[in-house]
């Protein structure tokens, strides 16, 4: 009888605790806006080497669906009740894939979600994918340390840092998301051109 009484008290205590726990706040989920000002497909001859696109490495703060913001100094925060549809490295890799497909010069494409082998691999480190404030002025910043490596032995063949900043006139989340789309378009165009130029120099010759 005593054990039953204790169990009843414990169950009421657990139910009371559950009733006072804060409810999860619903989040608005944003995708990275579709490419708006991408250049038309190149009429150059398609490259015969293949390219694998890998998700860039990122810190814990960026490897997350949270929309990162640095409001001051070295403080990293995120926008309340808003998040990306995927972690930032996935968003950027997919935008780069779309950029290569639109460009057309490298038709043999794959991603690290598959096990396909490729002549070259494009990866690197995502150093910034955030909004940064300087006083009352805000900008979207995307910074990628890109690496082009040989597929079969992962030897680094070329590297370059890409950084694009876009000032924001409106700091509401929908406008911030639009800014990320514009910055990603600019960075993608730069990375695609660089990777194609480097690939032409270092890719293995086509097999007979």
Q: Where are the domains of the chain?
A: 51-202
Which among 164, 183, 199, 166 is positioned nearest to 53, based on CA atoms? 199
What DSSP string runs through 55-121? PPEE-TTTSSSEEEEEEETTEEEEEEEEEESS-HHHHHHHHHHHHHHHH-S---EEETTS----SEE
CATH class of 51-202: alpha beta
Which among 32, 33, 51 is positioned nearest to 191, based on CA atoms? 51
pLDDT tens for 70-90 read 999 999 999 999 999 999 999
CB distance 131 to 71 below 8 Å: no
pLDDT tens for 131-151 read 999 999 999 999 999 999 999
pLDDT tens for 46-68 read 999 999 999 999 999 999 999 99
End-to-end Cα distance, the chain: 86
Which among 76, 78, 81, 56 is positioned nearest to 66, based on CA atoms? 78
What DSSP string runs through 166-187? EEES--SHHHHHHHHHHHHHHH
What is the value of pTM for the model shown?
A: 0.84
């Amino acid at each position: 009888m005593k054990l039953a009484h204790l169990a009843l008290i414990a169950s009421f205590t657990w139910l009371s605790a559950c009733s006072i726990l804060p409810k999860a706040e619903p989040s608005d989920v944003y995708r990275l806006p579709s490419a708006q000002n991408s250049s038309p497909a190149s009429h150059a001859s398609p490259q015969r080497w293949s390219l694998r696109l890998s998700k860039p490495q990122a810190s814990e703060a960026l490897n997350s669906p949270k929309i990162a913001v640095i409001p001051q100094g070295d403080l990293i925060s995120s926008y309340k009740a808003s998040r990306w549809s995927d972690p930032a490295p996935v968003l950027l890799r997919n935008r780069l894939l779309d950029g290569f497909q639109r460009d057309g010069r490298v038709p043999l494409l794959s991603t690290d979600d598959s096990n396909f082998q490729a002549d070259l691999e494009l990866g690197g480190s995502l150093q910034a994918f955030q909004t940064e404030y300087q006083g009352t002025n805000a900008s979207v910043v995307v910074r990628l340390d890109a690496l082009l490596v040989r597929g079969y032995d992962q030897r680094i063949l070329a590297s370059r840092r890409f950084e694009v900043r876009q000032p924001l006139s409106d700091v509401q989340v929908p406008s911030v998301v639009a800014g990320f789309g514009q910055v990603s378009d600019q960075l993608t165009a730069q990375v695609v051109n660089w990777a194609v130029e480097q690939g032409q120099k270092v890719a293995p010759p086509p097999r007979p």
